[in-house]
C-alpha cells in the first residue's frame, strides 16, 4: 500500500510540474500546480504515516525515507508560501525537485523492505532528525526561489522581458522578500533541530552535528548580513543556492 501512496505522490507532483507550467500565466490559486501539489502532499503524508507506524518512530532511517521526508517538507513549505505570497509559480520550480526526490525513494534498495521497529526511542534524537529535515525543506524552497530570482534577474538585465519563463513570474521585490522569509523560517526550524541534536542522550559531538552547527552559523551570517546591512538580491540568491547545495552534499557524504 505504501508504494501506492509513493507512486501517487510522484504522479501528482509530475502533473503539478506539467500543468503548472502551462497554467503559469494564471495568478494565485488559479495556478493548477498548487492543487496537484496538495494531492501529492496528502499521498506523502499517508506514506510517512504508514512508515512511521512500521518503525515506531519518525521515518528517517534510510535514504528513501529521508528523501521522502525532505520532499514532504519542501511541498509543505511550498503550499504555505505559494498561497500566502501568491508565489504560485514557485510550484512549477518546486514540483520537479519533489519528483526527483520521490524517484530516488522509489529506486530499488532506497527503502528497507522490512523496516525494524525501534525498541528505544530518544525524543531528542527524533526531534533533531525531524526538525533538521523539515528545515531543509524550507531551505530547499528558499534555494528554489533563489534560482527563480537568478533567472528573472538575468532576463531583466538582458532586457528579455516577455514570453517563455517570464510569463507569470513574480516581481523581483516579491522574490527577494520570499527568499529572505522562507530562509528565515528554515533557519528557525534548523535551530530547533540543532539544539535537539545537542541534547541527544548519546551526548557525543559527531561529525554530523558539527556540520549541522556550521550550516546553522553560515545561514545565520547570510541572513544577518541581509537584514542588518542589506544585500543585493543576486548575492542573497547565490548565497542561498550555494549554501543549500554544499551543505546537502556534505550531509550526503557523512
174 is an interface residue for another protein by CB under 8 A: yes
Interaction residues for another protein, span 128-157 (CB under 8 A): 156-157
Q: 44 with 71: CB under 8 angstroms?
A: yes
117 is an interface residue for another protein by CB under 8 A: no
* Span between the terminal Cα atoms of the chain, in Å: 31
Q: Which one of residues 176, 182, 189, 194 is an interface residue with another protein (CB under 8 A)?
A: 176
Crossing angle (nearest 10°) for helices 233-253 and 123-157: 140
CB of 24 to another protein, least distance (A): 15
Q: Which one of residues 232, 245, 246, 254 is an interface residue with another protein (CB under 8 A)?
A: 232
CB of 182 to another protein, least distance (A): 17
234 is an interface residue for another protein by CB under 8 A: yes
3 is an interface residue for another protein by CB under 8 A: no
C-alpha distances out from residue 233 to 21, 145, 146, Å: 25, 11, 9
Residues 6+ apart with CB under 8 A from 168: 24, 25, 26, 27, 31, 88, 89
Q: Which stretch binds another protein (CB under 8 A): 1-9, 62-70, 91-99, 158-166?
A: 158-166
Q: 30 with 20: CB under 8 angstroms?
A: no
CB of 154 to another protein, least distance (A): 12
Amino acid at each position: 500500500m505504501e508504494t501506492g501512496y509513493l507512486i501517487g505522490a510522484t504522479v501528482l507532483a509530475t502533473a503539478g510540474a506539467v500543468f503548472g507550467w502551462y497554467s503559469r500565466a494564471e495568478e494565485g490559486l488559479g495556478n493548477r500546480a498548487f492543487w496537484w501539489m496538495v494531492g501529492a502532499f496528502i499521498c506523502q503524508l499517508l506514506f510517512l504515516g504508514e512508515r512511521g507506524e512500521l518503525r515506531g518512530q519518525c521515518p528517517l532511517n534510510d535514504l528513501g525515507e529521508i528523501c521522502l521526508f525532505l520532499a514532504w517538507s519542501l511541498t509543505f513549505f511550498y503550499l504555505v508560501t505559494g498561497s500566502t505570497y501568491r508565489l504560485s509559480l514557485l510550484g512549477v520550480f518546486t514540483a520537479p525537485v519533489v519528483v526527483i526526490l520521490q524517484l530516488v525513494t522509489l529506486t530499488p534498495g532506497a527503502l528497507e523492505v522490512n523496516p525494524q521497529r525501534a525498541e528505544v526511542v530518544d525524543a531528542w534524537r527524533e526531534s533533531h532528525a525531524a526538525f533538521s529535515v523539515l528545515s531543509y525543506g524550507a531551505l530547499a524552497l528558499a534555494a528554489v526561489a533563489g534560482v527563480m530570482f537568478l533567472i528573472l534577474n538575468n532576463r531583466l538585465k538582458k532586457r528579455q522581458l516577455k514570453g517563455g519563463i517570464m510569463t507569470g513570474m513574480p516581481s523581483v521585490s516579491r522574490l527577494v522578500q520570499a527568499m529572505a522569509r522562507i530562509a528565515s523560517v528554515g533557519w528557525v526550524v534548523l535551530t530547533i533541530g540543532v539544539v535537539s541534536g545537542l541534547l541527544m542522550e548519546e551526548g557525543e559531538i559527531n561529525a554530523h552535528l558539527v556540520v549541522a552547527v556550521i550550516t546553522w552559523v553560515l545561514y545565520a551570517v547570510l541572513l544577518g548580513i541581509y537584514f542588518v546591512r542589506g544585500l543585493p538580491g543576486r548575492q542573497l540568491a547565490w548565497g542561498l543556492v550555494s549554501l543549500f547545495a554544499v551543505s546537502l552534499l556534505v550531509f550526503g557524504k557523512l
